Amino acid sequence: MHDSEIFKFKDMMMMSCTVQTLVLVPWFLVVFVLAGGEDSSETTAMFPAMFVFGDSLVDNGNNNHLNSLARSNYLPYGIDFAGNQPTGRFSNGKTIVDFIGELLGLPEIPAFMDTVDGGVDILHGVNYASAAGGILEETGRHLGERFSMGRQVENFEKTLMEISRSMRKESVKEYMAKSLVVVSLGNNDYINNYLKPRLFLSSSIYDPTSFADLLLSNFTTHLLELYGKGFRKFVIAGVGPLGCIPDQLAAQAALPGECVEAVNEMAELFNNRLVSLVDRLNSDNKTASEAIFVYGNTYGAAVDILTNPFNYGFEVTDRGCCGVGRNRGEITCLPLAVPCAFRDRHVFWDAFHPTQAFNLIIALRAFNGSKSDCYPINLSQLSRL
């Protein structure tokens, strides 16, 4: 797709008050053409850079360099990515932030671990996400090395030092204020911490409400650290409906067609507090005068897709495309496993992660969705502030 067609596509998206109309097949195919089109760096980017903090839902290769069991640098991961090769993304293809970057006109941003030796362009942003990482430092420890949110913020400080060497102080301040921060954390604090009582004590110490409070307290501290370093435009993704992922369906022996409601209720406890945090930060005398915080309602969008799968082109909602056991979720996708043939018809790629087709829809809703998708504004609106 040529640049003029990309701009035309974006303009049409901005005319829509909700992205629901984009799930029709013709639009769906157009977006895939966009995703495989010319280098986004040739267009005018809507933000100068995008910095990503998160877990395996958005990790683009950091864990490849860590001594961790949470790695995806083997086929069939990446089977639908460019070159049909694994990159360390936990999907058959692109992640949500890959698609968001393209919609924003940004080139593919590097994983932090690929930048440590230099020689990599970091001025369009860096991805610090780490599979098994969480808000809490201990989350995911049974899987080996990973970067918690605190560690990811520390890693960003190294990037900021490099950026500061190439820009004047005034330019760095403006660059930071205009750049986009995407944060997607919290999922592992449940599935690789609270919901594993044999490995972690958190569920015996905290009830679900107090655990959500603990997460939000730590989360707030790290977000304000990022604010203190100069960021002013934040998109914070909520926790998804974890009670619907194949791992939990298998572990809790859920009835066919049902999710594990107790687990979903935990996710909602966290998300409700996250919305309140966004409101508080957007009304605080200090942060509100300089910054905007946006809540990405991934929970609501995912529930909509799971409830109305055929509207989005999906046929299979309760099992992984690649995995072993009940719901193909008891053992996640193994090296050289044979995945399902029609991957775009599946919501879930493996025991924990969605397919590229699902990620695309979430990205579109974040880019130009209504307040029920992105609150109080979407990414397109945020770029124009």
User: What amino acid positions are annotated as catalytic residues?
Assistant: 56, 350, 353
As beta bridge partners, residue 68 has: 144
Q: Decide: 106 and 161 in contact? Cβ < 8 Å.
A: no
DSSP symbols for 71-122: ---STTTTTTSGGG---S-SSSS--HHHHHHHHTTPPPPPBGGGTTTS-S--
Strand, coil or helix: 50: strand
Beta strands 50-54; 180-184: pairing state: parallel
Strand, coil or helix: 324: strand
Picking from 359, 362, 384, 385, the residue whose alpha carbon sits closest to that of residue 374 is 362
Q: Where are the beta strands (DSSP E) in 161-208?
A: 180-184
Q: Quick one: DSSP state of residue 17?
A: S
- Residue 142 has phi, psi (to 5 degrees) of -70, -15
Buried b (16+ CB within 10 A) or exposed e, 350-368: bbbbbbbbbbbbbbbbbbb
Strand, coil or helix: 180: strand
